[in-house]
Amino acid sequence: MENLQQLARTTFSNLPVEKQEKIVAAAVREFSRHGYKKASINTIVRDAGISKGSLYQYFHNKEVLFVFIFERFTLLVKKAVAEQGRSNVARAREGESATAEQGRSSIVRARDGESTTAAQGRSCVVGAGPEHDFFSQVGRVLLAGIEFIDRHPDYFQIYLRVLFEQDVPMREKLLAQVRLFSREYFGPLCQAGQKSGAIRSDIPLAVVIFILDATLDRFLQSYAQGALDRDLDLGQINREELLVQVKLILQVLKEGLAVYGNSGNRVV
Amino acid sequence: MENLQQLARTTFSNLPVEKQEKIVAAAVREFSRHGYKKASINTIVRDAGISKGSLYQYFHNKEVLFVFIFERFTLLVKKAVAEQGRSNVARAREGESATAEQGRSSIVRARDGESTTAAQGRSCVVGAGPEHDFFSQVGRVLLAGIEFIDRHPDYFQIYLRVLFEQDVPMREKLLAQVRLFSREYFGPLCQAGQKSGAIRSDIPLAVVIFILDATLDRFLQSYAQGALDRDLDLGQINREELLVQVKLILQVLKEGLAVYGNSGNRVV
DNA sequence: CCATAATATGACCAGGTGGTCATATTAGTG
DNA sequence: CACTAATATGACCACCTGGTCATATTATGG
């Protein structure tokens, strides 16, 4: 037993949790501010209040440290997705009855409140019909993303940095673990949507996914770093307005930009 | 006259054009590969085949060099936009007559060929009606973007790098000069579209622009760096397929994702 | 052909990088 | 307490960075 511990002694996970967290926090801060390459190990050890030698005893090199941090991010994402999925399943089980209200995220709950009060006669995005599930699921995914950013802004920044830095060590592999709204996640959703008749099936699945992915990803990027978009400037926005924006965007995705009558010339 | 030349002698613009181009090419290559901060002056001078001292005689420092290069990019963009605008105006002047065929870009011409041959009975995006102008204008803007990337991939990379690098010197100012599809460009277009009845006016202008911007920007990003998107993988794609994708995307933007009958529950 | 002014050069600078390792400190044990 | 094994430390390394400047080279005009 001492042998096993000897092997494990010097590893990071055997440190007191408090120290672990300080190191992680410092690394997350630095990587989120500067991406991989420009992030400074010196800064990290200074912020973490440890010596450089110690850091290199816990992590073989910069790359290992970075991958470790990024994997914490993917874990958080997986957890968030799982939660979101669970609440979706629960929602489906409860059906249309407005009594569903268990331990879900605050923002999603807030949106529910909105939609139930506004669900008298007007039906914008959250209306009756077979497409209800699809578009409100998409909406919930988006809101889950927003909530994730609220909870873990630094980690999301790291994700964005990896997304746009070319020479991050395991870039492809890391991104593959996560790709927020990519085919693996939206694929089944959209496929089901097409099957159930919620969304049109004359558009190739890839194109459907592309547009959803592009819009939602961009929305989250804008939310995460308000500077990017002058158009909708999220970030300075309050929660209610944010929900309005989400609704409008989903509405456009669903109904298109053309005025109602003009969509009549579609090939059916 | 010698006095004036004396002042100007040491400047970059007085170098033989051949040398200028070599330096610019080296700088563009390096900045496109590594962004601003990680780009190496040493690499640039090596690639350009000049000494470091010379470079610093032409450009005060790294920042000045970078701004100089970026301004060449904005110039190229402005030229491309002007060309695109001119061809749009010409197109409008010629009206619906299919004889319009002056000195326009190859790819736009190619798309025209497609649309005119396909314009018998089926009307997908390029159909008759008041919205024709708007959506085909958007399409042409997108194709102009694609053509720009084909012509100047390195410059476009630099643009993307600036877009996602936080600490580029004059970042805000540089981006403001250019922002490919931002409010300044799409704003008037969309406003006109709403006025002419081509697009619905129950959606705030900002939201309309956001969705167009997000989709088109993402499309170009995917096109520029195929790695980003697994969904539609552009970049390996041939021209015809590309045009099909563009058409489909515009179609979805116009008509929405919902099946035709379901858009009936919109509030009119 | 020479003298002088313009230009090109790369050794050099201070400062920063990721990474190493002999040494100091601490913790565990008999 | 003492001895040893585990761990923490920061001076140090080679390398790279943007930037400088005395010196060498070239071009020009007399």
* Helix axes A205-224 and B205-224, enclosed angle (nearest 10): 110
The Cα–Cα gap between A208 and B228 comes to 17
Residues of chain A neighbouring B260 (CB-CB closer than 8 A): 200, 263, 266, 268
B65 part of a folded domain = no
Asked whether residue A45, judged by its CB, lies under 7 Å from any atom of the DNA or RNA strand C, the reply is no
Nucleotide of closest approach to B2 (CA, C1') = D28
Whether residue B172 is predicted with pLDDT greater than 60 in this model: the reply is yes
**Closest CA relative to residue A246, chosen from A128, A133, A91, A110:** A110
Residue B178 falls within a domain, yes or no? yes
Residues A244 and A114 in one domain: yes
Tell me, yes or no, whether B106 lies in a domain.
yes
Which residues in chain B touch residue A209, judged by CB atoms under 8 angstroms apart?
A: 231
Q: How far is CA B4 from the centre of its chain?
A: 38
What CATH number has the domain bearing residue A38? 1.10.10.60
Q: How high is the pLDDT of residue B238?
A: 80
How confident is the model at residue B268, as a pLDDT?
40
In this structure, are B93 and B223 located in the same domain? yes
Structure tokens that stand for B139 in this block: 């399409």
Give the domain extent around A17.
13-58
* pLDDT at B70 (0 to 100): 97
Residues A95 and A200 in one domain: yes
- Can you give the distance from the CA of residue A188 to the C1' of nucleotide D15 in angstroms? 50
Same domain, A130 and A261: yes
Q: Pick the closest to residue A20 from A89, A68, A60 (CA basis).
A: A68
Q: State the Cα–Cα distance between residues A232 and B210, nearest whole angstrom.
A: 7
Q: Which nucleotide is nearest to A54 (CA to C1')?
A: D8
- Quick one: A84 and A31 in the same domain? no
Q: Which of A165, A211, A245 is opposite residue B252, by nearest beta carbon?
A: A211
**Same domain, residue pair A122 and A166:** yes
Check if the beta carbon of residue A42 is closer than 8 Å to that of residue A34: no
**Looking at B19, B37, B59, which one is the last position of a domain?**
B59
CA of residue A5 to C1' of nucleotide C21, angstroms: 24
- Report pLDDT for B135: 93
pLDDT of B109 > 70? The answer is: no
Identify whether residues B54 and B79 lie together within a single domain: no
| Residue B110 within any structural domain of the chain | yes
Chain A residues 192 to 251 whose Cβ lies within 7 Å of strand C are: none
The answer to whether B211 contacts A257, with C-beta atoms less than 8 Å apart, is yes
**CA A243, CA B138: separation in Å to the nearest integer?**
28
Residue B170 lies in a domain: yes
Residues B92 and B48 placed together within one structural domain of the fold: no
Query: Looking at the predicted structure, is the pLDDT value of residue B99 above 70?
Result: no
B92 phi, psi to nearest 5 deg: -65, -40
With a pLDDT cut of 70, the percent of chain B lying above it is 70
Q: Please give the structure tokens belonging to residue A13.
A: 């996970």
**Nucleic acid strand C within 7 Å of A63 CB:** yes
C1'-nearest nucleotide to the CA of B11 = C7
Lowest mean pLDDT among B39-53, B107-121, B232-246, B250-264: B107-121
Distance B26 CA to C8 C1' (A): 18
* Total length of chain A: 268
Q: Is the domain of B5 the same as that of B121?
A: no
Would you state the pLDDT for residue A183?
74
Mean pLDDT by 10 residues, chain A (268 residues): 40 91 98 96 98 96 98 94 75 52 40 39 40 83 93 95 90 88 83 93 94 94 72 73 95 92 47
> Has residue B16 been placed in a domain?
yes
Distance CA A114, CA A110 (A): 6
Query: For chain A, what is the domain count?
Result: 2
* Sign of the dihedral defined by the CA atoms of residues A32, A38, A43, A48, in that order: positive
What is the structure's pLDDT at A166?
84
Name the residue of chain B whose CA is nearest to A130's CA. B262
Say whether pLDDT at B251 is over 70: yes
Residue B10 sits in the same domain as residue B87: no
C-alpha dist (Å) from residue A250 to A36, A145, A243, B11, B68: 35, 15, 11, 54, 41
Three-state SS at B199: strand
Residues A101 and A234 in one domain: yes
One domain for residues B3 and B99: no
- As a whole number, mean pLDDT of residues B170-194 equals 85
Q: What is the pLDDT of residue B229?
A: 57
- Name the nearest CA neighbour of A253 among B52, B159, B212, B252: B252
Query: What is the structure's pLDDT at B132?
Result: 56
Task: Tokens 């050890």: give the residue.
Answer: A45
Would A153 be classed as within a structural domain? Answer: yes
Least Cα separation, residue A196 to chain B (angstroms): 11
Q: Which of B83-87, B164-168, B241-245 has the highest mean pLDDT?
A: B241-245
Q: Does residue A16 reach within 7 angstroms of strand C, measured from its CB?
A: no
Does B203 score more than 90 pLDDT? Answer: yes
- The reply to whether B15 has its C-beta less than 7 Å from any atom of strand C is yes
- Residue B214 to residue A218, Cβ atoms within 8 A: yes
On chain A, the residues whose CB falls within 8 A of the CB of B198 are 258-259, 262
Backbone angles phi, psi at A230, to 5 degrees: -90, -20
* pLDDT, position B231: 63
- Give the pLDDT mean for B134-139: 92
CA distances from A200 to B145, B198, B257 (A): 28, 22, 6
In a domain, A208, yes or no: yes
Instruction: Name A107's Cβ contacts closer than 8 Å, sequence gap at least 6.
Output: A143, A146, A147, A150, A239
Q: Is the CB of B51 under 7 A from strand C?
A: yes
